[in-house]
Structure 1
Amino acid sequence: MSLDTPRPGTRLERLPTHEALQRLEHERNSRLTQLRALDEAGADVEKHVVSAQKDTVRRVLAEVEAAFTRVRDGNYGNCLDCAEPIPVERLEILPYTRFCVPCRRDTA
């Protein structure tokens, strides 16, 4: 089955706001913990590796913060490209995602 085709049983309803906020808070806290761990491991690991990892974590943190803004604006859970609802299963895995799978594949 293609990723472009919704699977049977895919939930297209919205993720409840409180649940979205909880998932985003968890993501934020996890990424901040990663940054602290990278800071502490800095002396034990090559600097370019730590720098690349920090950049990745900071990028995800920016995505999380943008998702909080979308929650406040009432746009959370809609694809920024096609404006269709993002399946709840995708939001449960990547609560900060901006795109549905088909649109993400087109932007990648």
Structure 2
Amino acid sequence: MPLDTARPESRPERLTAHEARQRLEHERDSRLVQLKAIEEAGREADDHPMAVQKDSLQRVLKDIGAAFGRVDDGTYGTCQECAQPIPVERLEILPYARCCVGCQRRSA
């Protein structure tokens, strides 16, 4: 049997709404745990780096909320800049991504 006849599993081009919600819920839950830890530590000391981390986490939570909205309205996984599909690999790593890598680089 020739080796080239074995085909690797093909990746889907898009995440299902259920998969997207699961990934987003995991990200949200992780960030909420981090935010709670920072808030508890912040009671003990007024630390500028902690405030920066807290602001960053709150921005990510806002982005995650917006991603849930995109799942609901059917636009999740579509780049908000070029309207092309965002690769599944990117969404697996950053499920709240709004743009494809190319558009993200151009806007940065």
Q: Secondary structure at the match of 2:28?
A: helix
Identical aligned residues as a percent: 61
Residue 64 of structure 1, CA deviation = 0.1
- The CA RMSD over aligned residues, in Å, is 1.8
Q: Specify the structure having the higher radius of gyration (Cα).
A: 2
Aligned to 2:81: 81
Contact 1:12 1:87 in 2 (8 A): no
User: Displacement of 1:51 after TM fit?
Assistant: 0.7
* Match of residue 4 from structure 2: none
SS at match of 1:76: coil
Output aligned runs, 1:1-108, within 5 Å: 11=11, 13-44=13-44, 46-108=46-108
Answer with 35-44 or 15-24: which moved more.
Answer: 35-44
Kept in 2, the 8 Å contact 1:79–1:85? The answer is yes
In structure 1, stretches of 5+ residues that fail to align are 1-9
Instruction: Give the partner amino acid of 1:59.
Output: R
Following superposition, the deviation at residue 12 of structure 1 comes to 6.7
In the alignment, which residue of structure 1 is the partner of 2:7? none
Shift of 1:76: 0.1
Instruction: State the alpha-carbon separation in 2 of the partners of residues 12 and 26 from structure 1.
Output: 20
Instruction: Kindly tell me the number of residue pairs found equivalent between the two proteins.
Output: 100
Write the deviation string for residues 40-79 of structure 1: whole angstroms up to 9, x where unpaired. 1114555211110000000000000000000000000000
Q: Which amino acid aligns with 1:100?
A: C
Alignment TM-score, normalising by the size of structure 2 = 0.86
Partners in 1 of 2:43 and 2:74 — Cα distance?
Answer: 43
Instruction: Report the alpha carbon displacement of residue 14 of structure 1 after superposing the two structures with TM.
Output: 1.0
TM-score by length of 1: 0.86
